[in-house]
């Protein structure tokens, strides 16, 4: 019997992984093996598990030593994760030293190439006692398209623009989006820059690459990215109708913040 079959909370999370993986594929945000997901499941696991294999980490992660994670596998397709989640995702546990990990279920599949970014974000969440347990990275077409324009890479520019397209975006993504300048996929440099940007935001855009969200649940991270992608699509649709769209005014955005008790940090 697998770890998942013995643990109803983990089984529910794996069902949610399968559901969200399908959405990412259906949205057209997950070409081939694009995107990756992880969740801190330390409080769902008990007892000892026999390691299937052991891998070193590119740097130690002492703050999450001993913690366990559900992580999508490297090279795995979201559409396959949707159909057969535990053939395409793994459970791993960091060593007490924090500088290596064991794969403990179900198969010895190496985890996502973006593991350094995922672990760095989980480490930061743990250090801050944040309830955010989930990290979701995907490649939403319209959002990535906007990161190809230099003017949108200025601090706050794209966040402000996306907020101004529909009131929902101001409400559902209240801390706006951070911009992470282009870095090599899978690198520690990308991981470090992402952690820095997440100090001020729950969602970041990786220049010319994708989007990453962190939150308490996978549904919540999907909803945040979906809402931002809706704003980006509205912006591009309005622009293709012939003119730069007007957007909600500063006053209208401030009114939303006041009415819904939203943080007023920069977009
Ligand atoms: O999983 O999306 O960023 C493949 C990627 C790398
Ligand atoms: Zn990616």
DSSP, res 233: H
Q: Which ligand is nearest to the CA of 72?
A: 1
Q: How many CB atoms lie within 10 A of CB 199?
A: 10
Q: How many CB atoms lie within 10 A of CB 19?
A: 14
Domain shared by 148 and 104, yes or no: no
Tell me the CA–centroid distance for residue 259 and ligand 2, in Å: 36
**Closest Cα to atom 4, ligand 1: which residue?**
34
For residue 152, the domain's CATH number is 3.40.225.10
Residue range of the domain that includes 176: 141-267
All residues with CB under 5 Å from ion ligand 2: 210
* Domains in the chain, number: 2
Percentage of the chain exceeding pLDDT 90: 95
Q: What is the pLDDT of residues 177-235, one digit of tens each?
A: 999 999 999 999 999 999 999 999 999 999 999 999 999 999 999 999 999 999 999 99
Beta strands in 5-155 (DSSP E): 36-40, 53-56, 68-72, 89-94, 100-105, 134-138
Tell me the CA–centroid distance for residue 63 and ligand 2, in Å: 25
CB-based pocket (< 6 A), ligand 1: 33-36, 112-114, 185
Q: Which atom of ligand 1 is nearest to the CA of 206?
A: 3
With a cut of 80, say whether residue 21 has pLDDT above it: yes
Contact 177, 231 (CB under 8 A): no
Domain shared by 132 and 160, yes or no: no
Tell me the CA–centroid distance for residue 47 and ligand 1, in Å: 32
- Look at residues 107, 102, 98 and name the one whose alpha carbon lies nearest to residue 65: 98
Q: Which of 16, 19, 31, 114 is catalytic?
A: 114
Q: Which ligand is nearest to the CA of 35?
A: 1
Residue 71 phi, psi (nearest 5): -140, 135
With a cut of 80, say whether residue 48 has pLDDT above it: no
**Is residue 142 annotated as a catalytic residue, yes or no?**
no
Domain shared by 20 and 68, yes or no: yes
The reported pLDDT for the residue numbered 47 is 77
The reported pLDDT for the residue numbered 49 is 84
Tell me the CA–centroid distance for residue 262 and ligand 1, in Å: 32
- Domain boundary residue among 139, 171, 206? 139
Q: Which atom of ligand 1 is nearest to the CA of 209?
A: 3
Domain shared by 31 and 103, yes or no: yes
Domain shared by 163 and 104, yes or no: no
Per the structure block, which two tokens stand in for 105?
């279920």
Q: What is the DSSP string of 197-208?
A: HTTT-SEEEETT
Q: Which whole number is the average pLDDT over 129-136?
A: 97
With a cut of 90, say whether residue 264 has pLDDT above it: no
The reported pLDDT for the residue numbered 113 is 98
């Amino acid at each position: 019997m697998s770890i998942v079959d013995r643990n109803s909370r983990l089984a529910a999370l794996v069902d949610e992984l399968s559901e969200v993986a399908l959405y990412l594929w259906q949205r057209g945000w997950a070409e081939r093996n694009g995107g990756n997901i992880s969740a801190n499941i330390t409080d769902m696991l008990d007892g000892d598990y026999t390691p299937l294999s052991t891998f070193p980490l590119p740097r130690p992660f002492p703050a999450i030593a001993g913690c366990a994670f559900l992580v999508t596998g490297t090279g795995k397709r979201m559409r396959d994760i949707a159909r057969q989640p535990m053939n395409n995702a793994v459970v791993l546990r960091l060593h007490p030293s924090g500088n290596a990990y064991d794969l403990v279920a179900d198969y010895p599949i190496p985890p996502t190439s973006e593991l350094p970014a995922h672990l760095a974000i989980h480490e930061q969440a743990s250090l801050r006692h944040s309830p955010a347990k989930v990290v979701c990275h995907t490649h939403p077409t319209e959002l990535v398209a906007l990161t190809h324009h230099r003017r949108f890479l200025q601090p706050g520019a794209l966040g402000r623009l996306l907020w101004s397209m529909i009131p929902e975006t101001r409400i559902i993504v209240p801390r706006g989006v951070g911009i992470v300048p282009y870095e090599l996929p899978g690198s520690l440099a990308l991981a470090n820059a992402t952690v820095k940007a997440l100090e001020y935001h729950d969602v970041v855009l990786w220049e010319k690459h994708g989007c990453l969200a962190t939150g308490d649940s996978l549904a919540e991270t999907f909803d945040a990215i979906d809402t931002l992608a809706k704003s980006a699509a509205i912006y591009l649709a309005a622009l293709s109708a012939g003119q730069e769209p007007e957007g909600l005014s500063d006053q209208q955005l401030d009114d939303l913040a006041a009415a819904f008790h939203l943080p007023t940090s920069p977009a």
